Every structure is written in structure tokens, then in C-alpha cells.
């Protein structure tokens, strides 16, 4: 039987991670997988996480099960972080999941149970795993225009035109902030237009929120999703704690379902818990507990926001420095958009052959679509990375 297993190509992003690890050339630069790195090129455990872990080690007396949907305290803490006061708590169902990807999967599962004929609209481009999970589940999806490669910004008119063609039964996936892979986000006025259009068509938004705090700040980054929650009757959210808490391998995630009424939220809550039971029963707890402790203890929370701000400033500083270095190397403003975008990623406009050449000839690693991870740069590597990019993209 197992000899009949079909072949599957490795994940493109994780494949770059492997190629980089195998490269023995000194001076290699990794702008591949979306993992934060500090100015020394490390992905450290956040100091506040170390503190929370030490306290947990002392305090925790049992590893007994909590609940299929995860700890209600974790739900409340994450709901507050993402949605603030945008919607009454009794209209929100919550599910702890293994990572943001687990939340994406459970949101799609719930959407399909609500509507077996659901169609998902993805921004073009989007994180590749959105489409690949939908394909695996056999859920129909289509793209909506999103990115304007000529400006490095939003194709605002195209996006709104395509979203206006959605309807009841459609699920529209939006990146809450720090769009992956483009770094191009809707501005507040754009979010208002998105909310208006979806209000008219009756399509339900699903927000993938993997980088809150990496763009302009915890509150600013959540403004778009909160506006949707205030304006529209329903919404799904897939939240990740991997990046903003640096808890990648602990798999901290949450699916949130904003429902039209408290009664519908109660039913959604039971359904979400059932989805966990069918997949893996109880969600991982260790990382979720650390996040809960950090968000609910005022001192830990202050330490966290301070640390997170420094991470954000490092990435935004790298954006400005790279844009400046590219301007000097290329003698043009064509890479200026990098400075104005937000989050970990930008598309530098390289085709797969140019990406391969930069990797093979110069040990500069990025994703095949020309996506770079800004956090992969350091003050030492920026000048060389800029020289390589400018030379290959002449």
C-alpha cells in the first residue's frame, strides 16, 4: 500500500531553507524563510519568553488536558490582542490551533461545513500554502487582483473591482497586515472600501494575521481587521503567535469566528472544538500558555511590546537601508517601494532564473518569486546584497 503513495514536491520556501543549510560558501546570505533575525543574524528566544518560561516551570503542577478548543484565558487574551473592543466577546468563537497554519486549515474546514460549495478568493499573489491547502481539501478558489508590480503598491482599483464581483457564499482571504509575499498593505481608507464592498456583496472575509506588530505597531496593524469586525456581521480570522512572540516551533495559533449573534457564536464554538477533536484532539498548550501569561501580566506585556518594537524597527531600518543601497547601486529609484512597504517581505521583481543565478553565483538566497525576508539582512550584508541584486536585475 505505502509503495503507492503519490509523490509530492517539497514546500518551495522550506526547500530554500534546506539548500541554504547545505551551502558551505562563506558569506552566504539567507533571505528565504520568514523567520525573524536580529542584527547578529540570530533568531533568539525573546527575553520575555525566557522569563515567562522560567515562571511557568516553577508554577506548573500538571500537564493534564485543558479543553479541546484550548484554554479560555488564551482565547480571551488573543481575541483582545487582535480584535480589541471591535466586537462583543459573546459574538466570537475561538479555537487554539497548532500555529497559524493550523488556524488557516480549521477556518477553511469551518467555512466548508457552513457552505459545502464555498469558494475562496485569494489575493494575487498570496502565501503559497493558502492555495495548496485549498487544493488538498478540494475547495474551489480564485484570485483577486491585489499587487501592482509597477508601483510596488496595491492595485486598488483592480482589487475593489474583483471584490465587487464576489457574493454570498464566498470567503475572501485578506492578509491582516504585512502582506506575504508583497509587503504591500491596504491603507485605512482601502480597508474602509473593502468593508463597504463586502458589506454590499455579502461575501465573508477571512483574515490571516501572522505578523501583527511587525508593520507599524500592534494597534495600527490590527486596524484593518478591526474595521471589518465592526462593520460586517461575520468574519473568520487565523492568528499566528509564531512571529510576534518568536514561538515558531511551539506552534501557537488561533482561529476566531466572529458571528452575527451570540447564539450563532455558541454553535460555532462547539463546531470548532469538534474540528480539533477530529484532527488531533487537544491543541498544543506550552506556547499558548506563555502567550497568555505575557499578555495578561502587565510587566511581561510591557517587556514584550518593547522587545517587539525593537524587532519592528530593525526590519523597517533594514528596509530603508536596503532601498538606499539599491538606489546607489542601480542609480535609480526603482527599488524605492521597499522602504514604504511593511513586514518581513518584499518582492524585488526578480524572475526565477535571476533568483537561481543570485543563489548559484553569489550565494544570495531568496524565494523563487523574488521574495526577500528583510529580517535576513544585517548592516554587514546590506551593501553586498544590494550590489548583487542591482547587478542581476539590471
Active site (catalytic) residues: 127, 208, 210, 243
Rule CB under 6 A: say whether 180 interacts with ligand HCI.
Answer: yes
CB of 213 to ligand HCI, least distance (A): 16
Which residue from 277, 283, 285 is spatially nearest to 109, judged by alpha carbons?
A: 277
N- to C-terminal Cα distance for the chain? 52
Inter-residue contact 120 to 173 (CB < 8 Å): yes
Sign of CA dihedral 128, 243, 19, 376: positive
- Grid coordinates belonging to 144: 483577486
Say if residue 93 is exposed, middle or buried (CB neighbours under 10 Å; 0-12, 13-18, 19+).
buried
How far apart CA 112 and CA 155 sit, in angstroms, is 29
Among 29, 31, 33, 195, binds ligand HCI (CB under 6 A): 33
Which residues lie below 8 Å from residue 140, measured CB to CB, with a gap of 6+?
117, 118, 119, 120, 134
CB of 365 to ligand HCI, least distance (A): 12
Cβ distance to ligand HCI smaller for residue 17 or 114: 17
Among 36, 74, 127, 335, binds ligand HCI (CB under 6 A): 127
Rule CB under 6 A: say whether 184 interacts with ligand HCI.
Answer: no
Rule CB under 6 A: say whether 214 interacts with ligand HCI.
Answer: no
CA angle 148, 152, 156 (to 5 degrees): 40
Using the structure block, give the residue that is written with the C-alpha cell 522602504: 339
Beta bridge mates, 237 = 207, 256
Inter-residue contact 135 to 108 (CB < 8 Å): no
* 284 phi, psi to nearest 5 deg: -60, 145
Mutual angle of helices 382-392 and 298-330, in 10-degree steps = 50
Q: Which stretch binds ligand HCI (CB under 6 A): 8-16, 142-150, 171-179, 354-362?
A: 8-16
CA dist list (Å): 65 to 57, 96, 284, 347, 362: 17, 13, 10, 43, 50
Cβ distance to ligand HCI smaller for residue 34 or 205: 34
- Grid coordinates belonging to 45: 528566544
Cβ distance to ligand HCI smaller for residue 129 or 324: 129
CA angle 141, 207, 16 (to 5 degrees): 70
Cβ distance to ligand HCI smaller for residue 203 or 350: 350
Cβ distance to ligand HCI smaller for residue 130 or 319: 130
CB of 100 to ligand HCI, least distance (A): 8
Count, residues near ligand HCI per rule CB under 6 A: 9
Rule CB under 6 A: say whether 14 interacts with ligand HCI.
Answer: yes
Cβ distance to ligand HCI smaller for residue 68 or 241: 241
Q: Which stretch binds ligand HCI (CB under 6 A): 11-19, 56-64, 110-118, 335-343?
A: 11-19
Rule CB under 6 A: say whether 123 interacts with ligand HCI.
Answer: no
CB of 127 to ligand HCI, least distance (A): 6
Among 11, 124, 190, 230, binds ligand HCI (CB under 6 A): 11
Report the site for ligand HCI in 47-106 (rule: CB under 6 A). Answer: 101
CB of 145 to ligand HCI, least distance (A): 21
Rule CB under 6 A: say whether 34 interacts with ligand HCI.
Answer: yes
Rule CB under 6 A: say whether 13 interacts with ligand HCI.
Answer: yes
For ligand HCI, the binding residues (CB under 6 A) are 11, 13-14, 33-34, 101, 127, 129, 180
Amino acid at each position: 500500500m505505502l509503495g503507492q503513495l503519490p509523490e509530492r514536491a517539497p514546500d518551495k520556501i522550506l526547500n530554500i531553507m534546506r539548500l541554504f543549510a547545505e551551502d558551505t560558501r562563506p558569506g552566504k546570505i539567507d533571505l528565504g524563510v520568514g523567520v525573524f533575525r536580529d542584527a547578529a543574524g540570530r533568531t533568539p528566544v525573546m527575553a520575555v519568553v525566557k522569563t515567562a518560561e522560567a515562571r511557568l516551570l516553577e508554577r506548573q503542577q500538571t500537564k493534564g488536558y485543558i479543553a479541546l478548543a484550548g484554554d479560555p484565558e488564551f482565547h480571551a487574551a488573543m481575541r483582545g490582542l487582535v480584535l480589541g473592543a471591535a466586537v462583543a466577546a459573546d459574538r466570537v468563537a475561538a479555537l487554539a490551533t497548532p500555529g497559524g497554519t493550523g488556524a488557516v486549515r480549521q477556518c477553511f474546514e469551518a467555512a466548508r461545513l457552513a457552505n459545502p460549495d464555498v469558494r475562496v478568493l485569494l489575493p494575487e499573489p498570496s502565501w503559497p500554502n493558502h492555495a495548496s491547502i485549498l487544493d488538498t481539501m478540494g475547495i474551489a478558489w480564485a484570485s483577486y487582483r491585489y499587487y501592482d508590480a509597477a508601483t510596488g503598491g496595491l492595485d486598488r482599483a483592480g482589487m475593489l473591482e474583483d471584490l465587487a464581483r464576489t457574493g454570498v457564499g464566498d470567503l475572501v482571504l485578506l492578509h491582516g497586515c504585512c502582506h506575504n509575499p508583497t509587503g504591500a498593505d491596504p491603507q485605512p481608507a482601502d480597508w474602509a472600501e473593502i468593508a463597504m464592498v463586502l458589506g454590499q456583496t455579502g461575501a465573508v472575509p477571512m483574515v490571516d494575521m501572522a505578523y501583527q506588530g511587525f508593520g507599524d505597531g500592534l494597534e495600527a496593524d490590527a486596524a484593518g481587521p478591526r474595521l471589518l469586525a465592526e462593520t460586517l456581521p461575520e468574519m473568520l480570522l487565523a492568528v499566528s503567535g509564531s512571529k510576534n512572540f518568536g514561538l515558531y516551533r511551539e506552534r501557537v495559533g488561533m482561529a476566531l469566528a466572529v458571528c452575527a449573534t451570540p447564539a450563532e457564536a455558541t454553535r460555532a464554538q462547539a463546531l470548532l472544538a469538534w474540528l480539533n477533536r477530529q484532527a488531533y484532539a487537544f491543541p498544543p498548550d506550552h506556547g499558548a500558555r506563555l502567550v497568555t501569561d505575557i499578555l495578561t501580566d502587565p510587566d511581561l506585556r510591557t517587556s514584550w511590546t518593547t522587545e517587539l518594537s525593537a524587532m519592528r524597527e530593525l526590519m523597517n531600518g533594514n528596509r530603508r537601508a536596503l532601498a538606499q543601497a539599491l538606489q546607489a547601486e542601480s542609480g535609480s529609484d526603482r527599488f524605492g517601494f521597499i522602504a514604504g512597504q511593511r513586514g518581513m517581505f518584499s518582492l524585488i521583481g526578480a524572475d526565477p532564473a535571476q533568483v537561481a543565478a543570485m543563489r548559484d553565483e553569489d550565494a544570495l538566497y531568496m524565494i523563487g518569486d523574488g521574495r526577500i525576508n528583510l529580517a535576513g539582512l544585517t548592516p554587514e550584508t546590506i551593501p553586498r546584497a544590494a550590489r548583487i541584486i542591482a547587478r542581476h536585475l539590471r
